[in-house]
Amino acid sequence: MDETGRVARVAVVIRTKDRPELLRRAFRSIVGQTFGEWEAVVVNDGGDAAAVDALIAAQPEGVRERFRAVHAETSRGRWVSANAGVLATTAPLLVLHDDDDSWHPEFLERAAAYLDAHPERQGVVSRIQIVWEKLVEGRLRTVRKEIFEEGLPVPTLSDELLYNRFVPIGFLYRRALHEELGLYDESLPVVGDWAFYLKVLARGSLEYLGETPYAYWHQRERSEGAESNSVIGASGDHAKYDALIRERALREYVEEHGLGLVLYLTKYIDQRLEETEFRVRHEVRKFNPVERVYQKLRTMREQRRG
C-alpha cells in the first residue's frame, strides 16, 4: 500500500548506493510501466540519503507517493538490503529492480497477467537482454546488446545447478515464496539470488514470458568502483561463494546419505574426463600434419633397426 492508501499488486525493491544517475534511469523504467498497480521502496545501502530523497521528490505528482526510501547509515550488503525492501512492502508480487537495470514498458503488465492466468506458478522469468555500455564523457553509451541464455528453452533446476540462468530484473514472483523458503541469505555478499533461485526451482518449475526480452541487464565491462557490476567488479567473490554454496549443499547431502554415492561419482566423472582427454589427443595427433611427419620418421627408424 502506498501513502495514498492505494493497494499495490507488485512491490518493486530497488537497492542503491551513491549511483544517482543510474537510479534516475531505474526510476524512469518503473514510472514508464504500462502497469500502474505498483509500490516501490528504495533501499539506500549507506549512500547519500539526500540524493535519493531528491530523486523521489522530483517524480511527478501521483507517482511520487508510490516511492519510499529506507536509509541505512552504513553499508550492510546486497542481500540485507534486498530483505529490508521485501519486509518494507506488502504487495503479493515482488521483483528486485537493481538501480542500474531497466525494463521494457510492458514487463510488469505482462508478467502480472501471466501469474494471474497461472495461479499454480510461483513466478515467471522474462527473457533477458544484456545491454553492454560504457561511460563516455560522463554519460553511459550502449556498445552492443545480446540475449542472455538465448538457447535455454525453459528455466530448469538442472540448468540452474551449473550457474545462475536469470537475474533479478527479469523475475517477478509471489511473496509467498519467502514465507515458504525464507528470505535471501544475508551471509552471502554475492550470489544470494542464485542461492534463492535454487530453492525456488527445487520447489517447482518456471517458464519464460515468451521469447521477447522485457528485462534489460545493463553491464559495464571496464567500469570500476560505484559504476561496476558485481558480476564483473566482484568476480572473485562470485567464484568463492559459488564454491561455498556447493560445499554446504554437499555436506548436507553427505550428512544425510553418507559418502558412498559421492565417492563413486567423483571417481566415475574423473575417469570419463581422462578417457575424453585421451580421445581428443588421439584425434589431434591423427590429423596433425606435423605429428604425422614425426610418426612416419619413427616408423622409418624402427624399420631400419629391424
219 plus 300 within the same structural domain: no
Reply yes or no on whether the pLDDT at 50 is more than 70: yes
Are 142 and 226 within one domain? yes
Q: Is 272 found in the same domain as 127?
A: no
Q: What domain count does the chain have?
A: 2
Do 283 and 224 share a structural domain?
no
Structural domain span for residue 276? 260-305
Q: With respect to residue 2, please indicate whether it lies within any of the assigned structural domains.
A: no
Where is the domain boundary, 203, 236, 269? 236
pTM as predicted: 0.85
Query: Crossing angle for the helix pair 235-257 and 192-203, nearest 10 degrees?
Result: 40
Tens digit of each residue's pLDDT (9 = 90 or more) over 109-150: 999 999 999 999 999 999 999 999 998 887 889 999 999 999
Summarize pLDDT for 149-181 with one digit per residue, the tens.
Answer: 999 999 999 999 999 999 999 999 999 999 999
| Per-residue pLDDT tens digits for 187-234 | 999 999 999 999 999 999 999 999 999 999 999 876 555 555 545 455
Q: Is residue 247 part of a domain?
A: no
- Residues 225 and 295 occupy one common structural domain: no
Q: Are residues 212 and 264 in the same domain?
A: no
Q: Which tops the pLDDT comparison, 93 or 224?
A: 93
Last residue of a domain, one of 236, 271, 291: 236
Considering the domain architecture, whether residues 81 and 144 belong to the same structural domain is answered as yes
Do residues 175 and 92 make contact, with C-beta atoms less than 8 angstroms apart?
Answer: yes
Is 253 part of a structural domain of the chain? no
* Average pLDDT, integer, range 61-82: 96
Q: For residues 112 and 192, state if they share a domain.
A: yes
